[in-house]
Structure 1
């Protein structure tokens, strides 16, 4: 069926005027009209229904006018004009749950005359019952599962899950479908306690009361390790040892190191055993270490622990010269006996101020050296060096100069 432009014009105009008719409703009071003073009230979550008896004997009633206000409003506002004398029901929709509304009714007579208003009726919208029970998983790695029973009310369309963040409740998820009763909160911290609550939402978008608050704690990191030690007597190596973790799900350990006790610690290795060999090219190199356990989920223990210090084997002490002199045309040099750690002793001799020194090996149990090859009037410079069983040399002794007279 096709409409002409003229027909469409009159149709649209009719719709506009019919919709605006009540905007210009300006009734006059007719005290002979009897108002509605007996009304049955049936509240729901977001609506309130009213029912009254039909007065078939009073032919002067042509309809009804309904007014409403909240406790915060000073004046009643007209919300409906019912131009039907046979109407006995009205539903006020789109209301807030758990809210008190006040109503007044008047009857409508001929020529938009109106009765006095009825007494004030108070009605309070109801609410969606809270979920009876909610649960939250415990000891799960970096995740908490929130679970609840399906709401028995078939008008429930979805659920809202809220979490307390910095002391305030914030919505973190909307779960569709009344029978969908779980949510996973992921990306959480280790060993942290969180609080949750769940509310139902009906098909009109009205939120019900909250469930009881549930709390849960994510899986805690492995406990600190005990008896962590670091060696101080291994050449070019520091061996770190510790007691095995008592937790069954620990799979390996991470080792962190820093050259400063309160410095930035960097991971230098990992081990499935209870020891780790830290290599260094320097003798007497000092390092600080921290060791943490890691469980099967990749959760590591805390680095907030007191570090242990380890040192690669230091060089043997420098030789202490007891005397150096020329006796009977020979250089005689003596030193204090070295420790049993020393396996080799070297004496260096340099002629004049230039050139490379000569190197003489002395047995480890000797504590003197005799140079028989001195030339008269020449200046010779001597110093002594110890070498231990690991071929780590000491610092050279003090240097001294002798001249054969």
Structure 2
């Protein structure tokens, strides 16, 4: 039963110093019929409190008041002594820390200095206010880079001091509190450091100044922005002299910003960042012949999200050196050295003969004899009693030279007279 309450009650919902918890008596209460009964004027309730007001008792035999209450967690309605008010001049009592939307049963009595009680007052069944509803509007903005933006309409109750934001993921089905917003009028929150292309669910609870959480809001679902698509059809050449041309198919992402190129000399392990490009191809200039490199290319969008590297890299190399010829013979005839060799590479266009003249054990000079068309060559004007060494290199149309053959020693001795 809920009765009208006196106007003074609204200003006296705080606990009074004379109100204390007291355990249930060990025996049945001793009744003194001469003691005046408590006449309750009314009550008022919130989500977590119920306040009562009664008419003060002027009888000097009254020392205070007992408050009886049931335990709503049990099925019976047995009333136990719940608290005592230790002054007959106090006319209010507030029961706190109650559960929202829960019925409680009360009754009151006065007591004297021997703790004898008056007859019980009328019994009051009072239900605390329902749990506060959350905000009326709660929504999200998705497709953001590793973040989610949550927006809501501020709660219209002045009893609300802020909000608690909760999040749920596929891996963690239990709702987790991720943020506390300490201003009722705040209307947005950005959740950061999220995974790419992931689904997140959010809900919001209002929090009162009594630290009571409201019911949860509607659930807002967010999908974060996916990474740019993986680059397709990346290719690298193996037939170009002194450079490797790398190319790939243009990204279909509409918010493409640029490409990142990564390079490795082994094809295993991590790749080193190499360059930033806006085009879909480039020539990697390399001075070394037959140099191998492995390439991976990623897309970076306008939000600086970078796509994944390819699982399989593109392998490229500069044009390798021609195969080394096979030295067949070196004969001394009439003061000249006749050299013959075998070609081992179809790319060969000309040959270079390296002529080394040994002047002493520690001194020698070398000269390259270039532009030789065939597979033999006669070196004339050899000096008597002089040691020579000859090597042959194949040369292709790009002037790339093979490794030289093993050196062949030739000694032109002075003829006997």
Provide the TM-score with structure 1 as the length reference.
0.77
Are residues 1:274 and 2:275 paired?
no
2:217 is the counterpart of 1:211: yes
Question: Structure 2: which 5+ residue stretches go unaligned?
Answer: 1-15
Q: Which runs of 5+ in 1 are unaligned?
A: 1-17
For residues 110 and 349 of structure 1, the distance between their equivalents in structure 2, rounded to whole angstroms, comes to 131
Cα distance in 2, alignment partners of residues 300 and 350 from structure 1 = 57
- Corresponding residue of 1:44: 46
1:115 aligns with 2:121: no
The 3 A distance-change label for structure 1 pair 33 and 104 is farther
1:243-286 deviations in Å (ceiling 9; x for gaps): 11011110210111122222222211111111133333422221
Contact 2:355 2:369 survives alignment (8 Å): no
Mapping of 1:4-403 within 5 angstroms? Answer: 29-31=31-33, 43-50=45-52, 64-68=65-69, 70=71, 76-80=81-85, 83=88, 90-93=93-96, 95-98=97-100, 100=102, 102-108=104-110, 113-115=116-118, 123=127, 126-164=130-168, 167=172, 169-303=175-309, 305-327=311-333, 330-337=336-343, 339=345, 341-352=347-358, 354-375=362-383, 378-403=386-411
**Distance change in 2, residues 1:116/1:341 (3 Å):** farther
Distance 1:263-1:177 versus aligned 2 partners, 3 A rule: closer
RMSD: 4.1
How far apart in 1 are the matches of 2:282 and 2:401?
26
Moved more, 170-179 or 226-235: 170-179
Q: Distance in 1 between matches of 2:222 and 2:203?
A: 12
Deviation at 1:232, TM superposition (A): 1.8
SS state of the match for residue 234, structure 1?
A: coil
Structure 2: distance between partners of 1:388 and 1:309:
23
C-alpha separation in 2, matches of 1:51 and 1:374: 132
Higher helix share: 1
Shift of 1:138: 1.0
SS at match of 1:114: coil
Deviations 1:189-227 (A, max 9, x none): 433333322101123332112223333122111100111
User: Shift in Å at residue 60 of structure 1?
Assistant: 9.9
Distance 1:161 1:287, change over 3 A: same
Pairwise CA distance, 1:106: 2.8
Could you tell me how far 1:327 is from its partner in structure 2? 4.8
State whether residues 49 and 128 of structure 2, in contact with CA within 8 Å, keep that contact through their aligned partners in structure 1.
no
Aligned-residue offset at 1:344: 4.3
For structure 1, which segment, 201-210 or 162-171, has the greater mean C-alpha deviation from structure 2 after superposition? 162-171
Displacement of 1:376:
5.4
Alpha-carbon distance in structure 2 between the residues aligned to 1:23 and 1:327? 128
**CA offset at residue 183 of structure 1?**
1.1
